[in-house]
Structure 1
């Protein structure tokens, strides 16, 4: 799975993974067991019954489940097995960013190189805890960030991109710069009221375990976590996107999940009579830019999950071939 909301929450209600599985494959009443970061592909587990879901959740919380990911990182990763035990602290739940910090919670990830193509390395990642963005933050700290990580492979963390924990700025400065950088990269724009921002603090938003209108969920170690924002980075709202051209296609009598998942041609005819806005509604004011295909994939893949008496494994993506290059 990649770039889809797992279940309805916060600002997402329609076309989630749970919704698609119910409509397209008649898999109804699935129970969410865990989630992946928005740009992470790979294995996603659901429970068919409440009893099974609770059993697997219990196994995850008690660290009875072994997880293995693969990713492509910058540079020639060391040949020996690397175990990173640096504690991770959440800098901001609001924009979803973490860093290695002595004030953080303990966590451990084991890394092993699988191959090197002369420029980037494919590595196996085994997280032994479940901190927010754990693999990505540990790789950033080691100096081998995921090749196309839009957040942790960025000079906003300093000229060395946060290697060795060397950021060189306060948390407040980091958050400010992340917002400004993201704003310049034009992920979303805003109509009208600039005071309506999803990244302006809401009263008690961190005290009561909520992020905006989203309720945070605890990971297996008790950390508070939440689904990543649409860009995995902060989004301030100054830039106005160019309106997308209207594509007129033959009208359809019904819009289904199949039209939204590419199984059928959707009806893209624009009918202005159906367009309504509310001047007080935040969602009505936001204009999203359509992301490019490369913006919807990060070279981090949930490969294998194994627990007491069970195991699941996915096929590896093309970019995980040792000899794969960006030109492919």
Structure 2
């Protein structure tokens, strides 16, 4: 790295897990809440099974979202460091090495519904969690979480969720504001002294009488799916965990039923798999509507996403562009100038494509910012070659005229359905080494999330009770 390049990276302000989210971090685009890409330091410690591998072999094998060439570049540019020190691509990692990976982080979008605060005291905050929003940082999500959004909008400080809701589930979420309160709640929950209540919209006409199902649940963590079976006293499944859920039909229209669900135990996907076992799965639960859902390890995605994709393909409903190329990606960016580093982008084929400055020069294009603009022009061509839902007026506003892109005139808000309060119009920076730029979200990520028709309504014990309103689909 020459001094100019080094100065470029050294001037970046790198966020870390303790950096709080701010209101200006979010952009609202066509019903989605998105996060402006930001520079972030991931820290990991080498596991025993990783020791003995080169740093490039380790990351290209364990973290396959990016191509091997990216990790070589990252090591050479000091974006992958060991113990705070720069190393070579041939460095062999050792057990307990501390590795920092400096990345341009793109978070997946979530539905743009608000995180509504129901009650706020010195010890507890209760909210209505929107479907599709994770509770706390996990995987690719950090700011696009309930905890992150509350910090950005209400400056809540550290929060302790006292129970969990799956990402696609909506409803009541209780968060403690200190460790002591969180521990008191958890003791009651683990002691079985808390009554939990959900509502679900299921397929078919559910029985009118109360149904109490005792069926052991086995969760396959690798594939992200649960199965259940009713055990007899002579046939015990040592792998399954005892589980019980009580159900009561609230209403039906002959096609679907609204059912109250009261889990006595708390197993992973318990309500979802128990409803499937009864022949009345949640009506939009693609994972448990299928008898043989696809394996997420083959799809390299979450179980729900793999199931949703398979369902769409089987119904011949998926005609969207699966390339990860977003027409709106051409509208919103400042560009960092770099004349030496290859730019990696996702082409419409879904395979990584590398363009070096030399290749661009062969096409009559110079290096630096102009090189980036050329790659963006290629992406615009890809955009026009696939099906999309933009109208001619939308395309007229895209600043893509005769293969040229005006990168500094359009902000993310130009593609918003409406400007939310306190929304910033500041563009985000395009990183020279990022494999996701110029998209707002991760490349290749289909933005078609739909919340499950499963909603947490009430948590109560002998000494406290919290409730939230029913969702529109249950009224």
TM-score category of the 2 structures, normalised to the smaller one: 0.5 to 0.7
The equivalent residue for 1:231 is: 305
2:225 corresponding residue in structure 1: 97
Shift of 1:73: 0.4
The answer to whether the 8 Å contact 1:98/1:137 transfers is yes
Structure 2 length normalisation: TM-score? Answer: 0.46
Aligned counterparts, 1:26-37, within 5 A: 26-37=155-166
Q: Are the equivalent residues in 1 in contact too, given 2:287–2:304 (CA < 8 A)?
A: no
Partner of 2:210: 81
- 1:70 is matched with 199
> Per-residue deviation at 1:10?
3.4
- Structure 1 or 2: more strand by fraction: 2
Alignment gaps of 5+ in structure 1: 158-176, 184-196, 199-227, 255-260, 322-328
Partner residue of 2:259 out of 108, 123, 129: 123
| Residue pair 1:22, 1:28 contacting (<8 A) in 2 also | yes
Q: Sort the Cα spacing of 1:135 and 1:64 in 2 relative to 1 into closer, same or farther, 3 A.
A: same
Report if the CA contact (8 A) 1:246-1:270 is conserved: no
1:25 equivalent to 2:154? Answer yes
1:178 to 281, 287, 295: 295
C-alpha separation between the residues in 2 aligned to 1:262 and 1:21?
Answer: 16
CA change 1:297–1:24 in 2 (3 A) is: same
Query: Match for residue 232 of structure 2?
Result: none
How many pairs align?
Answer: 244
How much is the aligned-residue C-alpha RMSD, in angstroms?
A: 3.4
1:277 to 419, 427, 434: 434
Q: Please report how far the alpha carbon of residue 231 of structure 1 lies from its aligned counterpart in structure 2 after TM superposition.
A: 2.8
- TM-score normalised to structure 1 length: 0.65
Q: Of 280, 283, 290, which aligns to 1:147?
A: 283
After TM superposition, which residue ranges in structure 1, 4 or more long, deviate above 4 angstroms? 232-236, 249-254, 264-272
CA contact (8 A) 1:74 1:119 kept: yes
- Match of 1:111, SS state, is strand
1:42 Cα offset (Å): 0.2
Residue equivalent to 1:206: none
Structure-2 change in CA distance of 1:275 and 1:152 (3 Å):
farther
Cα 1:33–1:285 change in 2 (3 A) is closer
Matching residue within 300, 306, 311 for 2:465: 311
Q: CA deviation at 1:155?
A: 3.8
Q: Partners of 1:42 and 1:152 in 2: how far apart?
A: 20
Q: Which has the larger radius of gyration?
A: 2
CA contact (8 A) 2:287 2:303 kept: no
Query: Which secondary structure does the structure 1 equivalent of 2:460 belong to?
Result: strand
**Residue of 33, 46, 49 corresponding to 2:178:** 49
Partner Cα separation in structure 1 for residue 150 and residue 228 of structure 2:
37
Task: Provide the rounded CA distance (Å) in 1 between the counterparts of 2:306 and 2:167.
Answer: 7
Query: How many angstroms does 1:19 deviate by?
Result: 1.4
Higher-helix-fraction structure: 2
